[in-house]
Structure 1
Amino acid sequence: MTTHDGIESLLRPSSIVIFGASSRPGTAGQIILNQLLEDGFEGDIFLVGRTAGQVGSRPILADPLDLPEGIDLAILTVPAAGLRDAVVACVDRKIRGAVSFASGFAEVGDTGRGQQEEIAAIAAAGDLALLGPNTVGYYNFVDGLTVMMIEQKAPPALPRDSGPAVAVIAQSGGIANHLSGSLRARGVPISYVMTTGNEAGIDVSDLSGHFLEDERTSVVAAYAEQIGSPEEFLALGAIARAKNKTIVLLHPGRTAKGQEAASSHTGSLADDYAAMRVAIEDAGILLVETTEELIDLCQLLLYSPIPREGGLGLVTTSGALCALSADYLDSRGLDTPALGAPQIEALTDLLPDYLSARNPLDLGTLPAWKPEMVGDGARQLLSDPAIGSVLVSLPLTEPDRMMAWLSSFAQAHKEQPAPAIFVLAGEDCPLPPELLRYAADNNIVVTRSHERAIRTLATYHRYARQARRTHDQAQATSFSGLPGLGSGTHAEWSGKKVLAALGITVPEGGLAGTADEAVSIARTVGYPVVMKAQAASLAHKSEVGGVLLSLGDADAVRDAWDELHRNVAAARPGLELDGVLVEAMGRHGVELVVGAKRDPKWGPVMMVGLGGVWVEMLKDVRLFSPWLTHSDIVGELNQLRAAKLLHGFRGSAPVDVDAVAGVVRAVGRLMITEPDIVEIDVNPLVALPGGEGAVALDALMVTK
């Protein structure tokens, strides 16, 4: 049985058995049975309990062996202690799928994890598609099926003419309920709500892939505390893109405390969040940081699955909001492009002299008595090719006026469809239900917070930029002539040999084993020189007095040789050096760091940022995929907070950004083609003035 077949047996069973049934009213088994009957389930329903009995006219079987073979779905309402036996019985009777609500497994520690893994192995060996344990159940709104452990009235089935919908998948029942409830309150159609719990069997990847193939689902909203099969999950990005669908993922664990909380919740093992973000976004999957973003973006992507290029167009009635937005937009990396000449001309004809035809567009008090101005203003922004999305932000007022504003905008949006959010401020005040229905019917996202809307659109634009990126296939070409590397951490001199083989410039010099050799190397490369102690375990040489600078002659080199060895011996007694690296002193420039790390689950991640001592203090870095093209790497450099330093600041010359991008690209290519390399750290990489290149002054390399 394929995973698809197993999930289908959960979603569309023709026969069901409830384990843990009892004749006592109010038990979990009876809650499930009542839900199935209320849904109008027409297939066979069997009951299995500890003792024989009856629920209405339905017999309770005391022995699972009395069940027929090949039942589609087993609903396991048994406690943790009885789950193993129930799963064994399911396998014995060749049941296709099962859902378990029991808790007390991986989320409580190693003992529970071991029990869960044993149950998972039994289910897998017996071809049983298992959802849970520690799930609260699921809804299939397409066919009208409810399998939930909590008694509640199931929402109606999704109408056939409702168009594309959102499927919600969450390890947490609380998050699933929050997401689906919020979306439904906005009139957003929901196809399925699945809670996966501890994921002993079916996981978020399985369900996401299944729903990408589902004709009723356009967007998958996923909350995952673990991604058990990263390669499988990442492969879904290409499938989603090909179908113009999107997976939007919320994953805790950006902080140590978040990782700890996720582990205690479902027994998940914490991933390296930064590496995960890079890999997931590179694959074409949208990663968000809040439930608000998840809700807003699912609705926005449902209406606008293919992002437009361009910046943000803002329409408001408040000059103050225009000013506040400028600050907030800048921090989010989103701009408001200047309008084109045709748009300025059209707006000038529409607006009184005291209002300016520009973006952001402040309509003043005009919409209070001329509601059509909302649509007229938005129409011009929507028609501008420099604008990729539009935000209309208006104050809360009486219902008729708000409806007039919304309908005016809806007409303009219908003529010029684009990603758009309509804000009616005042999130503590309810909106008329008919207004929300009208918005949903016209594919308009309505929110109550201006800042929330900006956050959502900034994330949407980030996703749009990511979606337009392509992999640089030349990065898959191996380098020739690389020096051999052993295992573990390598000293600077060894790492620089590799960098030189990549075509990266390193200072002239060599490794000296004696003071005489140091003098000879210094004479060859020319004074002044730098001398650096070399050992694989000596990552921070300057902290032990192992770096001596600006040595101007042979006597200085000999004196430095003795001083360097005394310093290292005092700080690290017994450390045996590979030798001393003697190099020509480097030129001044902008110090950057270029790094790469291979995450065991998510693969290689690149880093570039302000280097030298500033990297740890300011943490001004960008993380991205090693597959980036040259132009995309330049784009990442330009998003550094210190990017002004690269382009000439207070009289300094612009640096050779292309050379820096070339170094980054070469290191990325090495990470892709040499899987034994675990980590590379080039710090500092000195960026010289334009056209003069970049020089790697230090290098650390780690192999498996």
Structure 2
Amino acid sequence: MNLKSLFCPDSIAVVGASDRPGSFGCNAALNSLKSHTDQVYFVNPRKEELHGRKVYPSLGDLPEPVDCVMICTPQKAVNGILQQAADLGVKSAVIFASGFSEEHTEEGIHAEEEMKAIAAKAGMAVLGPNCAGLLNNVDKRNLWGMACSFDMETRRTGIGVLAQSGFVAMSVMGHVGLNLSYVVSSGNGKIVMLEDYLDYMVKDDSVKVIALYLEGVRDSVKFTQSLKEAALRRKPIVVLKAGKSDLGAEATASHTGNMAGSSKAYQAVFQKYGVIEVDCMEELLCVAQMFSVLHDRMPKNSGIFGLNSSGGANAICADLCDLNEICLPKLTDEEKEEIRNYIPSFATPGNPLDVTTNSFGDVENTYGLLCLLERMDKIGGVTIGNSIDIKEGKVSVGICEALLEARRRGLKKPYFMVPSVEGTPSARYKALLEENGIVLMSSAKTAYRCLSLFLGFLEYHPERHNLDGIGRAVEPRGKKVGAITEYEAKQLLKQAGVPVGNEIVVRSAEEMKHTAGLFSYPLAMKVSSRDILHKTDCGGVRLSVKTPEEAEQAFSEILEDCRENCPDAEIDGVLVGSMAKPGVEIILGVKNDAQFGPLLLVGLGGVFVEVFRDVALTPCPVSREEALDLLGSLKAKRLLNGYRGSAPKDVDALADLIVKVSEFAAQEKELQEMDLNPVFVYDKGEGLQVVDALMLTNSDRESTVPLGSWPTGE
């Protein structure tokens, strides 16, 4: 599907054009006239002239076929007009009307299915229904259906806005300070989907950063392919994901007919592809604007120097940088001495630095200090703690002029203006500063949070991640999900190269006598049953079994206890093997997400997994570098790296295990869920062992794993 006719039509017809204030027909007609094309036509059988333009009775009466129709009629008339447009060869349409699938009525769903069929047959790109429209500030096309004061003649470009909410899109477009390339309100998004618009913006060089308000995706494969393309292009995507809470998820489903996927799954996908996730609209706009202004002046590292005009602002800067984990590199004694040349004798050199108000008002003094910071390789950018809602005040004017002078004299480092509180900046200086790659931030708390997110993007390296094969969810195929035995699970893992101990399933007391001498003591003995997932709760586990006699007794007790506590369970026998020596307990888990496929979880295991919840989550498969990064994100990394005299653990072996498990999960088409808990990780060079394994698959899967061969020949 070619979206060019939708984003940049050479000719436009507004069907249902009107002069009734506030109506889609009136707004769309007036907005379309702002487009940089003379081929704009109005269609309304009850009007002869509107807004100084001739009006035609129908699409068939137009002097030429058009590229795009804006349909501004009520729901019942939409599909008839769309069919007429299709018959005339129109290649795109914008449909504002509601009353389709978003209302979950049989009539609305049927009408939207009919619309999809018309569009599919004709190859039409349809925006909507139930949308607010599209604005193209690059090619100057206005296909917006709401009241719009957007000035395409003066507004700078840079940000591509894509929103599954007309209100959000309209709010962003009304924010005068944003550099906007495109604004798209995707509406129901079942013909041209959100994923299609995202792909278009990722590949468009006029878009430097994408701001996405997301409720849910329909095509997870296409979505992640676009995220991969953006990651490889180093094009930032900033996402405000709705539906993180249970209540929010319910609200998004009723709003667009989308089911909001698992919030943790989305977070894992975002982290894998370097997507920047924000928590509110203010952060979305602030971060997007930062990237838009600095797209060709990105910091070379994440070290920040803070310049402030008072002691209070300096302390706030220090606290907020610490809170948001922003690096403030320490100064050498030599650097401190140089800084003394630009601050009063009573001031103290440091980072952050209280320059004092009077010094900040001196253009040459501030410029000299900026020159000094320019030479410090450890400094990637400079924050300036002062607002520019200045009313031509001396200090604020001095700061602005010093920053502009720094640019005029060739200084390159990024500068971030951070006001203590939100204000209305000087329009003149805002334009001058941003044209010179100087960012005007939101109020301090939001500013430093956004700066942290911005700097975090610098630390993302796509080459460390396996970005292929994500989004292919395992299909249950209508089958019930059920467990296989621990023995079966371990044998499948063993075939995939995962280290598991030698074990055997004993099915009778006679077999137990023959088995007792096959393993070194002590033994671990566990019930083997697809129906008993939590073996300890049913009395199905005996550990530290020291002799053959104890083993025979444990065998009888396990079967007796499990038959009493789980009378309906089908029991294969008892799983027997040598006990693994203790190590650091790690959990590796897999959960098949309905949209993004298998997700891998790694964290502190054993009984601690529910207590501390020290885990990391990512889509499968992963690279080895990615596995190491996951382990490095855990608090438990201190246990793995050696803590208070303990030996470092075999992190390399654990990383290899993570890769193998992730590849197994991505390839095993019937897998729905898996827990390897605990995995004992031993000292460096000694490897690890999977001690316990729980695996859920499609329940009518036929086992391909034999229970073993026995000395008795049974």
What range describes the TM-score normalised by the shorter chain of this pair?
0.7 to 0.9
Aligned residue identity for 1:336: L
Aligned residue identity for 2:583: G
Aligned residue identity for 1:422: M
Q: Does 1:142 align with 2:135?
A: no
* Matches of 1:55 and 1:353, distance apart in 2: 71
* Matches of 2:411 and 2:360, distance apart in 1: 24
C-alpha displacement at 1:242, in angstroms? Answer: 5.7
Q: Which residue of 2 aligns with 1:4?
A: 3
* Matches of 2:105 and 2:513, distance apart in 1: 60
Aligned residue identity for 2:443: S
Q: Which residue of 1 aligns with 2:712?
A: none
C-alpha change, 1:40 and 1:454, in structure 2 (3 Å) is closer
- Residues 350-409 of structure 1: per-residue CA shift (max 9 Å, x gap): 567776654444546673565656555555555443444443334789632123224334
Q: Which residue of 2 aligns with 1:691?
A: 685
* Matches of 1:574 and 1:536, distance apart in 2: 11
C-alpha displacement at 1:281, in angstroms? Answer: 4.2
C-alpha change, 1:215 and 1:529, in structure 2 (3 Å) is closer
Q: Which residue of 2 aligns with 1:623?
A: 617
Q: Which residue of 2 aligns with 1:482?
A: none
C-alpha displacement at 1:269, in angstroms? Answer: 2.1
What secondary structure is seen at the aligned counterpart in 1 of 2:3?
helix
The 8 Å contact of residues 544 and 571 in structure 1, kept in 2 or not, is answered as yes
Q: Does 1:589 align with 2:583?
A: yes
- Residues 153-194 of structure 1: per-residue CA shift (max 9 Å, x gap): 3423257xx5x5222222212212332333x32xx4322222
* Matches of 1:381 and 1:325, distance apart in 2: 18
* Matches of 2:313 and 2:601, distance apart in 1: 36
Segment of structure 1 superposing worse, 191-200 or 243-252: 243-252
The 8 Å contact of residues 166 and 217 in structure 1, kept in 2 or not, is answered as yes
Equivalent positions of 1:152-301 (< 5 A) are 152-158=148-154, 165-182=158-175, 184-185=176-177, 188-240=178-230, 243=233, 245-301=235-291
Equivalent positions of 1:185-584 (< 5 A) are 185=177, 188-240=178-230, 243=233, 245-305=235-295, 307-308=298-299, 310-317=301-308, 329=321, 332-339=324-331, 343=335, 346-347=338-339, 357-363=349-355, 367=359, 375-377=367-369, 379-394=371-386, 399-412=393-406, 415-427=410-422, 429-471=423-465, 489-518=483-512, 520-584=514-578
Q: Which residue of 2 aligns with 1:479?
A: none
Aligned residue identity for 2:306: V
C-alpha displacement at 1:131, in angstroms? Answer: 0.7
Q: How many residues align?
A: 683
Segment of structure 1 superposing worse, 556-565 or 572-581: 556-565
- Residues 642-669 of structure 1: per-residue CA shift (max 9 Å, x gap): 3322233344433222222221122123
What secondary structure is seen at the aligned counterpart in 1 of 2:174?
helix
* Matches of 1:638 and 1:382, distance apart in 2: 32
Q: Does 1:116 align with 2:112?
A: yes
* Matches of 2:697 and 2:260, distance apart in 1: 23
* Matches of 1:329 and 1:648, distance apart in 2: 29
TM-score, normalised by the number of residues in structure 1 = 0.86
Aligned residue identity for 1:12: P
What secondary structure is seen at the aligned counterpart in 1 of 2:215?
coil
C-alpha change, 1:514 and 1:377, in structure 2 (3 Å) is farther
The 8 Å contact of residues 530 and 570 in structure 2, kept in 1 or not, is answered as no
* Matches of 1:313 and 1:522, distance apart in 2: 65
* Matches of 2:536 and 2:44, distance apart in 1: 72
The 8 Å contact of residues 88 and 122 in structure 1, kept in 2 or not, is answered as yes
Over the residues paired in the alignment, what is the CA RMSD in angstroms?
3.5
Q: Which residue of 1 aligns with 2:703?
A: none
C-alpha displacement at 1:602, in angstroms? Answer: 2.2
Segment of structure 1 superposing worse, 240-249 or 651-660: 240-249
Q: Which residue of 2 aligns with 1:77?
A: 72
List alignment gaps of at least 5 residues for structure 2.
471-479, 699-714
Q: Does 1:13 align with 2:10?
A: yes
What secondary structure is seen at the aligned counterpart in 2 of 1:453?
helix
C-alpha change, 1:559 and 1:536, in structure 2 (3 Å) is same
C-alpha change, 1:77 and 1:671, in structure 2 (3 Å) is same
C-alpha displacement at 1:298, in angstroms? Answer: 1.6
TM-score, normalised by the number of residues in structure 2 = 0.85
C-alpha displacement at 1:228, in angstroms? Answer: 2.6
Q: Which residue of 2 aligns with 1:481?
A: none
* Matches of 1:228 and 1:593, distance apart in 2: 31
Percent identical among aligned pairs is 28
C-alpha change, 1:620 and 1:174, in structure 2 (3 Å) is same
- Residues 225-269 of structure 1: per-residue CA shift (max 9 Å, x gap): 232333223323454456553333322122222221111222112
- Residues 294-329 of structure 1: per-residue CA shift (max 9 Å, x gap): 212222222333754543313144666666666655
Q: Does 1:32 align with 2:25?
A: no
Aligned residue identity for 2:166: G
C-alpha displacement at 1:124, in angstroms? Answer: 1.7
C-alpha change, 1:227 and 1:335, in structure 2 (3 Å) is same
C-alpha change, 1:635 and 1:390, in structure 2 (3 Å) is farther
Aligned residue identity for 1:392: I
List alignment gaps of at least 5 residues for structure 1.
477-485
C-alpha displacement at 1:54, in angstroms? Answer: 5.3
C-alpha change, 1:17 and 1:395, in structure 2 (3 Å) is closer
The 8 Å contact of residues 17 and 48 in structure 1, kept in 2 or not, is answered as no
C-alpha change, 1:468 and 1:412, in structure 2 (3 Å) is farther
The 8 Å contact of residues 17 and 29 in structure 2, kept in 1 or not, is answered as no
- Residues 518-571 of structure 1: per-residue CA shift (max 9 Å, x gap): 455454332222221122232222222222222222333233223322332233
* Matches of 1:515 and 1:390, distance apart in 2: 75
